[in-house]
């Protein structure tokens, strides 16, 4: 979808804004529901003007993920979304089930966008990021630039459970993991990931390797030549779920942008950027260009759109439109004046409605969902037509 969808999102957003005006509030005051609402004590957040959230007594259990959540099983019988859904319906804590799910692709050496065998940074070192959020408990944890641990999602959960912090990074995150008994490996590269790094080094201009255009061109040329899947080049898996009680959790884990500057941290471990969960509303996670989500706090933004009444689909589209309108640097625009990168969102609300949206939805066209009917791939809804690299 292109301009029509964007126009629809703008119209919907304008309508929601109008509904929040004093005039609209007076019109609604005559209804029985509104009168009952007036008699209830105000919520703590009412001074911020946030509309009340419509609640359902029960939700449809569902897991939503990117394709890593369904196409990689590390030689076992279940994919990430299958393992997570099974755990949820068997009574596991939602976050425990999700992390057990993403541990499968994190440990799979053939999934080169996360965990063991993830594509390394410019120095050939695998540095991993992860974040998790627990809706009912209102806590979160993350790690960034963590070396030597295949499952950073588990370390992120330990940060949330055992410390007073939300984020540990680098050597400190590794020391924390070591103290908890996590195995620290000298090198998380596989033969394949190291060979691809050497090929990137061959293609990059040593005198201009810090130039973002040169770095991107060298990496994308390897995608064009079929050496790296597009989803692995950008890295990341996100997995979110809601159980029958309406409890919502989410987790995002990644090896980050391939060949990144050492120490670079993208959106994945940052609350509100690569992941956001509100147990009263829903969850949103993302893959793609992390810097775009960092600038726009896109996952938080999409959850807030859902809080205002948007469906997961329209909330995701509105967040993509915000990214599009804020992308103005010439190096980030294609010949059509549109973003030359892709961003994808995986959304669900408290009732179990899901959506997968993408800036383009052409390089990676499908996402994963698991319900009582089993796992399935569904098509992305794209904001823009064509490809990020269209001339």
Please choose, from the candidates 210, 218, 361, the residue with its C-alpha nearest in 3D space to the C-alpha of residue 287.
Answer: 361
Q: What is the 3-state secondary structure (H, E, C) of the chain?
A: CCHHHHHHHHHHHHHHHHHCCHHHHHHHCCCHHHHHHHHCCCCHHHHHCCCCCCCCCCCCCEEEECCHHHHCCCCCCCCHHHHHHHHHHCCCCHHHHHHHHHHHHHHCCCCCCCCCCCCCCCCCCCCEEEEEEECCCCEEEEEEEECCCCCHHHHHHHHHHHCCCCEEEHHHHHHHHHHCCCCCCCCCCCHHHHHHHHHHHHHCCHHHCCCHHHHHHHHHHHHHCCCCCHHHHHCCEEEEEECCCCCEEEEEEECCCCCCCCCCCCCCCCECCCEEEECCCEEEEEEECHHHHHHHCHHHHHHHHHHCCCCHHHHHHHHHHHHHHHCCCHHHECCCCCECCCEEEEEEECCCCEEEEECCCCCCCEEEEEECCEEEEEECEECCCCCCCCC
Beta strand 381-382 with 366-371: parallel, antiparallel or unpaired?
A: unpaired
Question: What are the distances in angstroms from CA 173 to CA 90, 132, 202, 223, 269?
Answer: 32, 15, 32, 31, 12
Q: Can you name the residues that pair with 167 across neighbouring β-strands?
A: 142
- 236 part of the active site: yes
Please choose, from the candidates 241, 305, 280, the residue with its C-alpha nearest in 3D space to the C-alpha of residue 81.
Answer: 241
Q: Which of 236, 252, 287, 354 is catalytic?
A: 236
Active site residues: 236
């Amino acid at each position: 979808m292109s301009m029509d969808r964007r126009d629809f999102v703008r119209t919907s957003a304008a309508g929601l804004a109008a509904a929040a005006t004093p005039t609209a509030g007076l019109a609604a005051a005559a209804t029985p529901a509104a009168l009952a609402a007036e008699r209830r004590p105000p919520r703590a957040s009412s001074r911020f003007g946030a509309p009340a959230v419509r609640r359902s007594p029960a939700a449809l259990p569902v897991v939503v993920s990117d394709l890593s959540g369904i196409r990689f099983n590390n030689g076992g019988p279940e994919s990430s979304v299958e393992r997570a859904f099974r755990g949820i319906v068997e009574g596991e804590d939602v976050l425990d089930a999700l992390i057990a799910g993403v541990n499968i692709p994190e440990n799979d050496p053939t999934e080169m966008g996360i965990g063991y065998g993830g594509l390394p940074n410019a120095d050939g070192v695998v540095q991993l990021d992860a974040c998790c959020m627990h809706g009912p408990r209102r806590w979160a944890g993350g790690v960034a630039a963590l070396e030597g641990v295949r499952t950073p999602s588990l370390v992120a959960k330990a940060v949330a459970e055992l410390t007073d912090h939300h984020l540990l990074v680098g050597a400190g995150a590794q020391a924390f993991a070591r103290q908890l008994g996590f195995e620290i490996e000298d090198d998380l590269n596989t033969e394949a990931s190291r060979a691809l790094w050497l090929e990137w080094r061959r293609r990059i201009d040593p005198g201009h390797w810090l130039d973002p255009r040169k770095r991107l061109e060298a990496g994308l040329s390897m995608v064009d030549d079929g050496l790296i899947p597009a989803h692995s080049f950008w890295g990341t898996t996100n997995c979110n779920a809601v159980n029958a009680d309406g409890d919502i959790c989410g987790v995002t884990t990644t090896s980050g942008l391939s060949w990144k500057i050492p120490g670079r941290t993208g959106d994945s471990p940052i609350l509100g950027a690569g992941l956001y969960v509100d147990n009263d509303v829903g969850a949103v996670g993302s893959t793609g260009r992390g810097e775009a989500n960092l600038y726009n706090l896109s996952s938080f933004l999409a959850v807030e759109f859902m809080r205002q009444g948007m469906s997961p689909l329209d909330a995701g589209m509105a967040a993509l439109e915000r990214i599009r309108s804020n992308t103005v640097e010439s190096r980030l625009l294609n010949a059509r004046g549109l973003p030359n990168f892709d961003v994808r969102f995986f959304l669900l609300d408290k009732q179990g409605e899901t959506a997968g949206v993408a800036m383009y939805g052409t390089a990676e066209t499908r996402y994963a969902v698991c319900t009582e009917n089993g796992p399935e791939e569904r098509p992305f809804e794209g904001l823009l037509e064509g490809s990020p690299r269209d001339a």
